[in-house]
Amino acid sequence: MSLISLVRSFILLLSISSLFSGLTACTEDTIPPITLGTLQGIVVAHELPLADVNITTQPATNQVQTDSAGRFVLTGIPADTYTITVRGEGVRTTSLTALVSTDSATEVMIHTELTEPENRVPNTPTLVSPQNEVTNVPRTLTLIWQGTDPDEDSLHYEVRLFTSQTVLRQTILAQAIADTTLVVQDLQFNTTYFWQVIATDPDGLSSQSEVASFTTLPVPNLRFAWVSDTSGNAEIYASDGSDTTIVQVTHRAARDVQPRLHPRLPQVAFTSEVQGETQVFVTSLIEGIPTQITQVPMAGFHNIGTGYTWSPDGGQLAYAHYQELYRISANGSGLTVVTQAPTNRHFREMDWTAVGNQFVLQTIGTRIYDAEIYLYSPQEDSLRLLVANHPGQLHSPSFSIDGQEVLFTYDASEFQSVEGRQLDSRIYRVPTSASPDSIQWIDVSTNKPAGTNDLRPRYSPDGAQIIFENAPNDDPSASSIWIMDLNGDNRQLLYQYATMPYWR
């Protein structure tokens, strides 16, 4: 064997020897075994166990939840020192440290506290009715909305209403109400309104609905006017003849009576007391401000605001002042005496027709049942007796459309009461061409209920019907307004608890 071969063999033996020496050394350095233990406990708050709260540890082990008794168990975890943390909704996060060993299960009791859940903002209210951008909405309607809260808190609401002109000064219709409906009244005609609801919870958190709009009915043709005291005071009302479109024209502390619709414009005249004297006012039918027209008052025997009328063109008014008949422009200027009543008599109720520019005038004495009806022609400056004085009361003369007839009322019972009570007031028609001696009265109250009075008649604008008031003869406050044909047929109720009708 060569020298080189001997050297290689020696090196190989040394390598094998070193390998076995290393293996022997490894078996002498041993790894200690892993020891396991158990951690168990109960979570309480105010001495009561808490179920379904989360238990975590550091170092990390399995995450568990407490059972219905508030207990938890972690088994087979390495023996070590752990930080145990409790977390849960409505529970304050709490930690404690515990040593887990192999000798026995480690038992802990974790005391924590309940916390109030974080309050959340109410859900956005939903506007239900009227629907957005709806039109032809009545002037009285019910706003309806819905509101909910994610925390199921009770809510209260603020309701706002405005127009494009009042967006900077929104009207708050209601505040702090629990209801989700609100009735709104007396809205303007032909107006677009915007509304919004704000929901607020007990902690003051709030949310706003969207802004929705609606448009009210167009301005109606208000052809009927009357007086009612259902609001607690005598006020003027108007209507287009339907049951749904009724407008309260006046809203005053004074007693407003005897409405007379303007012949052409959406205006109405009425009478009211000012410092103990009766004056004539004019106002727009829609959102008007009454203007006093007269300064010299309406006055005379038994004339509580009844003695006046529009001129046929609406440019003037005529009214009674004791024995004088005055004429005044609709703006309150140009007061003029038209004519005077017969001696010892005063003018009272009246009407003015364009046919011949004539007046029909009631004159009255000191007693309410002392009355006559005259025709007056300004061109001739002459008073002509049409209906002579009779034992019963005689009232309310008015012209037919063509000026050829006059309506009036007469108490057929001929009861002469100084207090003004009537027992059987009926409506009659007479031709203007007749004389008091030959006149034929046409009774159109043949279908009137017994024990009632037909009062204040006027022809309809087309001349085919008559509007009038009917009231029990023992209770004038129960008056109602009716219409009927010219012959007295087809009596139809228009408005209950209403008086002093007018139809143009």
Domain harbouring 43, CATH code: 2.60.40.10
Distance, CA of 109 to CA of 471 (rounded, Å)? 89
Same domain, 397 and 455: yes
CA-to-CA dists, residue 332 to 120, 163, 249, 282, 311, angstroms? 64, 35, 21, 10, 14
**pLDDT score for 29:** 54
Same domain, 199 and 65: no
Domain boundary among 216, 250, 281: 216
Same domain, 285 and 200: no
In the chain, % of residues over pLDDT 70: 94
28 in any annotated domain: no
Reported as a single tens digit per residue, the pLDDT across 81-98 is 999 999 998 899 999 999
17 in any annotated domain: no
Same domain, 208 and 65: no
Mean pLDDT for 171-191 is: 93
| pTM (2 d.p.) | 0.69
Same domain, 397 and 416: yes
Distance, CA of 482 to CA of 499 (rounded, Å)? 10
Is pLDDT at 409 greater than 90 in this prediction? yes
Residue 176, SS3 per DSSP: strand
Mean pLDDT for 349-368 is: 97
Q: How many domains does the chain have?
A: 3
**pLDDT score for 102:** 87
Domain boundary among 183, 216, 249: 216
Mean pLDDT for 145-172 is: 92
Same domain, 235 and 209: no
- Number of residues that make up the chain: 504
CATH number at residue 469: 2.120.10.30
Same domain, 348 and 257: yes
Domain boundary among 179, 198, 216: 216
Is residue 30 very low, low, confident or very high in pLDDT (cuts 50, 70, 90)? Answer: low
Is pLDDT at 28 greater than 80 in this prediction? no
Is residue 232 very low, low, confident or very high in pLDDT (cuts 50, 70, 90)? Answer: confident
Distance, CA of 270 to CA of 304 (rounded, Å)? 12
Mean pLDDT for 214-218 is: 94
3 in any annotated domain: no
**Residue 262 lies in domain:** 224-503
Nearest to 362 by CA among 400, 408, 327, 416: 408
6 in any annotated domain: no
**pLDDT score for 74:** 94
Burial 402-430 (b: 16+ CB within 10 A, else e): ebebbbbbbbbbebeeeeeebbbbbbbbb
